[in-house]
């Protein structure tokens, strides 16, 4: 901490009573869900303070604890920067240090909602089938150990404790960016509960609630330079600020245990009976193009999405994806103009103040492709050369070597498998065939449908490079 700055500290305002436990505290939830919840309490009251939990490491806890879990949210956009201090998190548990304490906290009757941002892989399921992977090391541990390791394990053991105590269940509210997130976490919880105690599973199925959500705000990783930027704006030192764009959208299925929730509608959350149309629109239009631009942009040498779409070729590529490949597969949610939504997305991508790294978006591609790209390809009734090029770009990316021969730091739960399949195949056609053989990513129907165009796109990538390959699609 710079010697001339005072550290950020929590204000003297009374702390809210606890009502929520959040699993997997990272930058996104602190810049999104926590902000909404803090604003809802400021406007409408209620005890909805958040006890946060890290399921892996103590880094976030160690940064926030000296600040009383207060932190700065920096909004940055074309109109400049604004900051607000968020004080809705009151404490934090690092699960590996105190799993029993986390289960006990979730079982406390004051807790009415458990929210999650654990990423796709945190649900320990097979994205292609939705089934819980009972052979996952953490799940295998949680089947027989009352002190869990996984997010599904903590949910099940805490719900088990509440049932034993004669309490109502808490609502499980996924804030992860995957389709049908409520159904995904419900299936994981019920599969694990069924394996542990069928009566518990029946109780959760009847009494529990797992509302689906659609979340949307770009939150880039916080870099060391951002700490200096926040200090310059606030005059204090914050060890763990978050950076976000001005735009935000949260659509929530209004289905909570006994109707207990913060007054989210008062602060702009869309409370609906069916999230699916919003979710599909966002996953395909935002996340689908985000991933496409990330893989192709990275291979072309661009560090951020803003850098990528500053190149007119890539901006035109995004427009083509929306208009000719993605929008034709969608039914617009009521009151939504999909072309206007696409235009707004491109303006958000162009925001130079948001340095959303292509490498960051490329993480965990094996988990993201089925939702972001392959669903669109499955539903498409006309050729999709742009999306097939994006799949081919992912295949080249996971090979671990970029267009200049430099090593790519591939972060993916299947990274070793992907690299081995790519390395042991001798030709581009064989590499595509080997990767398409992974049925947990590419079901038979999709693999057969896209094999020829993806193979052709992979050949273009290898012989001409990413930018030229994009230009070929635009012709």
Residue 323 structure tokens? 């208009």
Helix (H, G, I), strand (E, B) or coil at 403: coil
- Here the CATH number for the domain that contains residue 454 is 1.10.1040.10
- CA gap 291, 219 in Å, rounded: 15
Residue whose tokens read 């049908």: 180
Let me know whether 227 and 315 are in one domain.
no
| Of 1-10, 13-22, 67-76, 364-373, minimum mean pLDDT range | 1-10
Longest dimension (CA), the chain: 65
Averaged pLDDT, 192-218? 97
**Pair 157, 196: CB distance under 8 Å:** no
Q: How confident is the model at residue 314 (pLDDT cuts 50, 70, 90)?
A: very high
- 223 φ, ψ (degrees, to nearest 5): -110, 165
Query: What is residue 439's three-state secondary structure?
Result: coil
Same domain, 212 and 254: yes
DSSP E strands in 180-301: the ranges are 213-216, 236-237, 242-244, 249-253, 270-272
175 and 112 share one domain: yes
Regarding pTM above 0.85, the answer is: no
Q: Which residues contact 135 (CB under 8 A, 6 or more apart)?
A: none
**Sheet with 249-253: strands ordered across:** 213-216, 249-253, 270-272
Q: Report how many domains make up the chain.
A: 2
Note whether 22 and 105 are same-domain residues: yes
Let me know if residue 14 belongs to a domain: yes
Domain contains 110? yes
Category of 205 on φ-ψ map: left (φ > 0), alpha (ψ -120 to 50) or beta: alpha
Residue 25 banded pLDDT, cuts 50, 70, 90: very high
| Domain contains 1 | no
Same domain as 374, residue 389:
yes
Distance CA 441, CA 416 (A): 15
Same domain membership, residue 296 and residue 153: no
Q: Give tens-digit pLDDT for 346-357.
A: 999 999 888 889
- Expressed as residue numbers, the domain containing 245 is 6-272
Q: H-helix or E-strand containing 282?
A: helix 276-282
The span from the CA of 32 to the CA of 175, in Å, is 9
My answer on whether 186 and 294 are in the same domain is: no
Last residue of a domain, one of 272, 295, 324: 272
16 and 90 in contact (C-beta within 8 Å)? yes
Output the average pLDDT for the chain: 96
Per-residue pLDDT band for 177 (boundaries 50, 70, 90) equals confident
Task: Give the C-alpha separation, 425 to 433, whole Å.
Answer: 9
If asked whether residues 369 and 224 sit together in one domain, one would say no
Gap between the Cα atoms of 229 and 204, Å rounded: 46
CA distances from 139 to 128, 153, 154, 192 (A): 18, 7, 11, 8
Structure-derived torsion over alpha carbons of residues 109, 115, 121, 124, reported in degrees to the nearest 10: 30
Tokens of 183: 């159904």
Cα radius of gyration (the chain): 22
Bridge partner list, 49:
18
Q: Do 242 and 135 share a structural domain?
A: yes
With vertex at residue 243, the alpha carbon angle to CA 237 and CA 244, rounded to the nearest 5 degrees, is 150
Q: How confident is the model at residue 129 (pLDDT cuts 50, 70, 90)?
A: confident
Of 363, 291, 364, 367, the C-alpha closest to 133 is 367
* pLDDT of 3 above 70: no
Is 22 strand, coil or helix?
strand
Token code pair at residue 207: 């009494």
User: What DSSP letter does each residue of 40-94 carry, written as one string?
Assistant: HHHHH----EEEEEESS-SHHHHHHGGGTT-EEEEEEETTEEEEEEE--EEEEEE
pLDDT at 327: 98
Averaged over 304-324, what is the pLDDT?
97
* pLDDT tens per residue across span 400-409: 999 999 999 9
Query: Of 245, 155, 139, which is closest to residue 208 (Cα–Cα)?
Result: 155
Let me know how long the chain is: 475
Q: What is the pLDDT of residue 126?
A: 87
Q: What is the domain-level CATH number for residue 194?
A: 3.40.50.720
In sequence order, what are the residues at sequence separation of 6 or more whose Cβ sits closer than 8 angstroms to the Cβ of residue 408?
298, 397, 399, 400, 401, 402
DSSP type of residue 114: E
Give the pair of three-digit tokens for residue 309.
């779409």
Last residue of a domain, one of 213, 237, 272: 272
Q: 180 to each of 286, 311, 318, how far by Cα in Å? A: 16, 34, 25
Query: d(Cα 389, Cα 295) in Å, to the nearest integer?
Result: 10
Q: Do 430 and 301 lie in a common domain?
A: yes
d(CA 347, CA 327): 18
Q: 298 and 267, same structural domain? A: no
Asked which of 272, 303, 328 is the last residue of a domain, the reply is 272
Q: How far apart are CA 459 and CA 132, in angstroms?
A: 36
- pLDDT over 80 at 264, yes or no: yes
């Amino acid at each position: 901490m710079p010697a001339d700055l005072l550290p950020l500290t929590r204000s003297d305002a009374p702390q809210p009573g606890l009502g929520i436990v959040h699993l997997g505290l990272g930058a996104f939830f602190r810049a999104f869900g926590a902000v909404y919840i803090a604003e809802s309490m400021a406007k409408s009251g209620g005890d909805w303070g958040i006890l946060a939990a890290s399921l892996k490491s103590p880094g976030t806890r160690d940064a926030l604890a000296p600040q009383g879990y207060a932190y700065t949210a920096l909004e940055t956009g074309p109109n400049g920067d604004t900051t607000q201090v968020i004080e809705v998190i009151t404490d934090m548990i690092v699960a590996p240090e105190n799993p029993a304490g986390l289960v006990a906290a979730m079982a406390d009757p004051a807790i009415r909602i458990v929210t999650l941002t654990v990423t796709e892989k945190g649900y320990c399921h097979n994205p292609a089938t939705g089934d819980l992977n009972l052979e996952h090391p953490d799940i295998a541990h949680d089947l027989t150990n009352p002190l869990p390791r996984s997010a599904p394990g903590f949910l099940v053991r805490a719900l088990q404790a509440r049932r034993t105590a004669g309490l109502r269940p808490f609502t499980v509210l996924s804030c992860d960016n995957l389709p049908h997130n409520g159904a995904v976490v419900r299936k994981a919880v019920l599969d694990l509960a069924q394996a542990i105690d069928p009566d518990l599973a029946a109780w959760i199925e009847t009494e529990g609630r797992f509302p689906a959500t659609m979340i949307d705000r770009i939150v880039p990783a916080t870099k060391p330079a951002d700490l200096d930027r926040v200090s310059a704006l606030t005059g204090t030192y914050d060890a763990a600020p978050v950076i976000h764009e001005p735009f935000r959208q949260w659509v929530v299925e209004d289905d909570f245990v006994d109707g207990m929730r913060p007054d989210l509608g008062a602060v702009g959350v869309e409370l609906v009976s069916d999230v699916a149309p919003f979710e599909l629109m966002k996953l395909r239009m935002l996340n689908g193009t985000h991933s496409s631009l990330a893989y192709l942009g990275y291979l072309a040498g661009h560090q951020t999405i803003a850098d990528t779409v500053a190149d007119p070729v890539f901006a035109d590529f995004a427009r083509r994806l929306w208009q000719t490949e993605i929008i034709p597969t969608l039914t617009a949610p009521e009151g939504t103009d999909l072309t206007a939504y696409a235009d707004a997305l491109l303006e958000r991508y162009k925001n130079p103040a948001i340095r959303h790294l292509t490498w960051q978006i490329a993480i965990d591609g094996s988990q993201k492709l089925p939702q972001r790209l392959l669903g669109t390809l499955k539903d498409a009734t006309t050729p999709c050369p742009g999306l097939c090029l994006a799949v081919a770009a992912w295949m080249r990316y996971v090979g671990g070597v970029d267009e200049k021969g430099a090593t790519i730091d591939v972060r993916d739960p299947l990274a070793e498998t992907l690299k081995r399949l790519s390395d042991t195949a001798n030709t581009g056609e064989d590499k595509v065939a080997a990767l398409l053989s992974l049925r947990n990513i590419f079901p038979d129907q999709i693999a057969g449908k896209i094999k020829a165009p993806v193979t052709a796109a992979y050949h273009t990538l290898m012989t001409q490079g990413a930018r030229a390959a994009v230009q070929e699609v635009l012709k």
